[in-house]
Amino acid sequence: MFQPNKKSLKILFVASEAAPFVKVGGLGEVMNSLPRALRNLGHDARVLIPKYATIDIDKYPLKTEIHELKVESGDRDPFGILVSNILRYDGSDGWVNYFLENMEYYEKRANVYGYSDDTVRWILLSKAALEFVKKSDWKPDLVIASDWQSGFIPNLVHTDYKEDPILSKIPIIFSIHNLRYQGLFDPKFVSEMDFDAGQAPITDFFDERTKKLNGMRRGIFYADVINTVSPTYAREILTEEFGEGLDKLLNERKSRLFGILNGIDTESLDPETDKDLIANYSVKSLDKRLENQVALQKQFGLPATKGDVFVVGMVSRMDEQKGFDLVIQALGPLMENINFQFIVVGEGNPGYRSYFEELKAKYPDRVGTHFSFDARLPRMIFGGADAVLIPSRFEPSGLVQMEAMRYGCIPIVRKVGGLADSVTDFSPETEEGTGFVFEKYDPFSLTIAIVRASELYRQKKGWEKLMKRAMAEDFSWEHSAKEYVKLFELALRFHKDNQ
């Protein structure tokens, strides 16, 4: 990709969530960290999300930016116009965040996702974002729509707003964080009758067909540029195995498809300063790390082994995507043959939870579990476990492996998506690599990877060298943000050439 010029860009991200205001998954963290990294590079990056009832307005006081923003629903009166407000939060460092205020669709809801009218909620967000750009004194140079929830933005700009003198001049980038989620349906089982090709007009808010719209397909179809959250994932989704039914469309648009690996917040994720650790340490004082392992074992009711037993952690949403079916097949035989402790933290599938509860009952001194959210526990695992397990079926980017490596916790991963881009397999011949990588999605490959890690752990000097290499990796957002600036410049060029 060509080198960007020095022009300061005005960038608007539109998303369904953004930390620190509201965070459900990785998207929320990216919508906090990436704009901040871009601002640190001298760009004016802002975010627009809905104003949810859970946002702490005492901590984040909001003021009205635009009063009574009108959005057409497409329906005849009395539902033809939905009136909302755009609110604004100004951070102490010049940081600006916008919020779409609508009582019915956002503030009356207990959750961010999971409603039968979610598609309507996201079309409202998409239309309101564009109306905001038209009316605001601040005009972005680019708009970045994130995942299917705002995939209607590129669609609207190239159809309903194609003659608009303001919006028609702004490139739209569509950012894919997880291709699997495309709308209010499972893309693998959508019927031919319900299939949305993405080219028909967006239906009225209260039309039954609206629930069947595919925001992901529409975003890909209409965007000026498409990006995913890792280079390998950008290549994988061109195949039938990873394409989630959109591989043909993505291949048609692959000249506009790019992948940039997500970063992590290296300021808060720092073993030298992290307050969630019993003992802070650096690459020069790894011996202090043992105190954190003892604290971790105590937290989960496991005997303190003082570094004599291999400790493996797993921090993950309990979902089929994350490879839990492999773990379930491999863990029992491993427990019978290797002396190690296993700690799992996560929410999700109750079937997986039942399995780990039974395993803990069978091995009370070797298995630790926690099945509800606790912000401290992942940091404790990164700072105290020897390895972290991420055997994903697919993984667009993944943050856990990068966060763990920052703390010297060695990743055991499958070679997919962002895991392949961030972890290199350990080679005993060259003493290179930052983790243990396996390719085939089967329990035997996973077992071999864990055994390999366990064997190296016994060689303390070799393991210490591995930890130091992992901790030396640079996964800061600064690097990723520079790649995004190149992408933005490319989008501006593409858009100008097509005018």
HSE at residue 476, side-chain half, CA atoms within 13 A, is 13
Tell me the three state secondary structure of residue 225. strand
First-residue to last-residue Cα distance in the chain:
22
The whole-angstrom separation of Cα 30 and Cα 263 is: 8
Phi, psi of 70 (to 5 degrees): -100, 130
Question: What phi-psi label fits residue 159: left (phi over 0), alpha (psi between -120 and 50 degrees) or beta?
Answer: alpha
Q: Are 239 and 396 in contact, with CB atoms under 8 Å apart? A: no
Token code pair at residue 375: 């912000």
Q: Which strands form 257-259's sheet, in the order they lie side by side? A: 63-72, 81-90, 96-101, 44-50, 10-14, 142-146, 172-176, 225-228, 257-259
The CB density around residue 271, as the number of other CB atoms within 10 Å, is: 24
Residue type, 179: L
Contact status, residue 448 vs residue 438, Cβ threshold 8 Å: yes
- Residue 301: count of CB within 10 angstroms of its CB: 12
Beta-carbon contacts of residue 189 (< 8 Å; ≥ 6 apart) = none
Scanning the structure block, which residue is given the tokens 């005997």? 303
Question: Is 127 a known ligand-binding residue?
Answer: no
* Residue 107, φ and ψ in degrees, nearest 5: -75, -25
CA distance 183 to 17: 16
Phi, psi of 162 (to 5 degrees): -65, -25
In whole angstroms, give the CA distance from residue 216 to residue 226. 11
Nearest to residue 225, comparing CAs of 172, 177, 159? 172
Which residues fall in the annotated binding site for ADP-alpha-D-glucose? Answer: 23
Which residues fall in the annotated binding site? Answer: 23
